[in-house]
Amino acid sequence: MSFTPPRTMLLSTPTLLLGVALMQLALSSNLNSLHGIAYMSVTTDNLTASTQFYTQVLGGMLVPELAFTFSGDSHYYRMFQKEILDARTQGVNPAELGVPDIRNHGTYEVRGNFIVFDNDILQLVEFVEKSSSKVFDIRDRRTSQCYIAAPIVCFWVKDDVDFNHYIAELEKRSHDLGFDQVKVNRPVTVHNEAERLAVPENQLGITFDSGDFDGLSMAFFKGPRGEQLELNRITKSYKYNLGKNYCRRQGVTTAFLDNHPDNRWKKAAGVSGQLYGMFEFATRTDDLSKSVNFYTQVLGSEELPKPLVGVNLRGDAVENMLFQKELLDAASWGVDPRSIGVPNTTLAGSDRSDLKFNMFDNHVIKTVEYTAGKSLSDPKFNPRYNWSSPAYINNMHVAFLVDDNIDLNNFLHDTELKAATNKFPEFKVNRAIDVPTLGASVPSSQYSAEFTDGPLKGFNYVFAKGPAGEQLSFVQFKGPAAAKLKSALVRYSAVSTAFKETNPWDRKEYDKYCSKYSSNPVIG
């Protein structure tokens, strides 16, 4: 449903009020049509190796019927419009800003896979030459998660798994399969790889046993191609507070289901496959309140209340766990860690971090802010990359799933309008055609273009940048693509609000777990 304002300038007050009400109704109808996170996407330089890691190490399931290869003018603009326009402004070839030429007669194409986990999907993409399959290899040696818009994908470790042992087994299985780059940071100071390996197994992760984070375990590491990954295990009061909000929101995760089947893909991966899927997609923001408001006011998430927030996160163990790889890089390169995006959040340091969660149907988006000082009123620590292209190796983005019963193009138009109304003018959705300026007015039919053949027939997407420049996309599965997606989710015993067959709420499977909470559920 969409609303076109009347053309006449001579409108009565009741007519104006009716028009406003209709527009608000239309926006509400469309913008309540997100089914949470469709998938999280990782740009890789080796699709085969990345697929092997996420299936054979982490226990995901490849969906071969959705494996894809495509190129074309529409994809070129939908993926890279901001960077293309930036290149024109700077008078440089778009390739210098990380844009592979995937146009109709260009030299590159997009290849990728979808991998199913319990409550979400991981998309892996690579950009390769059509003639030689040589990867479009553009990357930055700086890997700190503190750079503005830097992304993290967090996996949720099962309750009954010893967290430290899980880390040890993850590294062992990774290395057995040739993924030597997978090295989990240690919470203690080390000066080289030998010292890192010498840390006892019972000290590999961080577990909070009191305070707001009571029951939360965490660890950070780089994936097989350098992407930033995180592990969380969630128990005790932290799980109780999180569960309360899942029940109120009617969100879906297998962590709150009794006797959920441990499928053959998880079993084949061994200990490292013992996951509930994903817990969060995290992104670094330059304005915590603004980012939280964008996800709540524009995209309809719920901000999780205290104690599910992070306030003044500091300490030596946290600093090591977050940035150990970068601290070792800085020492090796002979540079100040701060110059490559590492704040000093040690107990003796002068910086701090704060974070908040925005909950969608299946998991949260975490936004993180760093302050160059111990008070929130101090200046922010906001290092930035000089690039924004999703084709950079190790880049990741989050894709939101739009209901297949509405028009995606109208949804995108309305989302831009709502963002502008709520004072997020920087949010602009790419168009499927060439335009002179980002967000230029075009007919709604030119926002996107559904696949009409091939393995992705019925799939549609478009890219955008969030309020801090983070990469987002909005996607829709219809027809054959929706049937393939549903079949894959059912095959893995995954949970999703996208289909009745995959939504445990429709089968009252959360009733027992949620009976401990007295608040009325909120559907969203």
**pLDDT at residue 26, as a whole number:** 37
Residues 106-110 have a mean pLDDT of 98
Query: Which of 8-22, 73-87, 330-344, 399-413 has the lowest average pLDDT?
Result: 8-22
Is residue 21 predicted with pLDDT exceeding 50?
no
Q: Which residues pair with 402 in a beta bridge?
A: 34
Mark out the alpha helices in 53-150 (DSSP H runs): 73-90
Instruction: Kindly state the tokens that stand for 383.
Output: 């290092």
Q: What is the mean pLDDT of residues 301-326?
A: 96
Domain boundaries, the chain: 29-514
- The predicted model gives 78-82 an average pLDDT of 98
User: How much is the pLDDT for 428?
Assistant: 95
pLDDT of residue 32: 58
- Between CA 481 and CA 477 the distance in angstroms is 5
Query: For the chain, what is the mean pLDDT?
Result: 92
Q: What is the pLDDT of residues 332-382, one digit of tens each?
A: 999 999 999 999 999 999 999 999 999 999 999 999 999 999 999 999 999
* pLDDT value, residue 326: 98
Residue 228 CA to its chain's centroid (Å): 11
Decide if pLDDT at 10 tops 50.
Answer: no
Give the pLDDT band of residue 35 (cuts 50, 70, 90). Answer: confident
Q: Coil, helix or strand for 83?
A: helix
Q: CA-CA distance, 97 to 81, in Å (whole number)?
A: 11
Whether the CB-CB separation of 457 and 451 falls below 8 Å is answered with: yes
Structure token pair of residue 307? 């104690």
The C-alpha atoms of residue 222 and residue 229 are separated, in whole angstroms, by 6
- CB 462, CB 74: distance < 8 Å: no
Determine the straight-line distance between the first and last CA of the chain, rounded to whole angstroms.
19
Q: Is the pLDDT of residue 158 over 70?
A: yes
Q: Is pLDDT at 521 greater than 50 in this prediction?
A: no
> Tokens for 298?
């524009």
pLDDT at residue 6 in the model: 30
What would the mean pLDDT of 429-451 be, rounded to a whole number?
96
Region 484-490 average pLDDT: 98
Residue 339: the pLDDT is 97
Q: What is the mean pLDDT of residues 267-296?
A: 97
Exposure b/e, 207-235, CB count within 10 A at least 16 = b = beeeeebbbbbbbbbbbbbbbbbbbbbbe
Q: Is beta strand 68-70 parallel, antiparallel or unpaired with respect to 108-116?
A: antiparallel
pLDDT in tens, 396-416: 999 999 999 999 999 999 999
Q: How confident is the model at residue 259 (pLDDT cuts 50, 70, 90)?
A: confident
pLDDT tens profile 495-507: 999 999 999 999 9
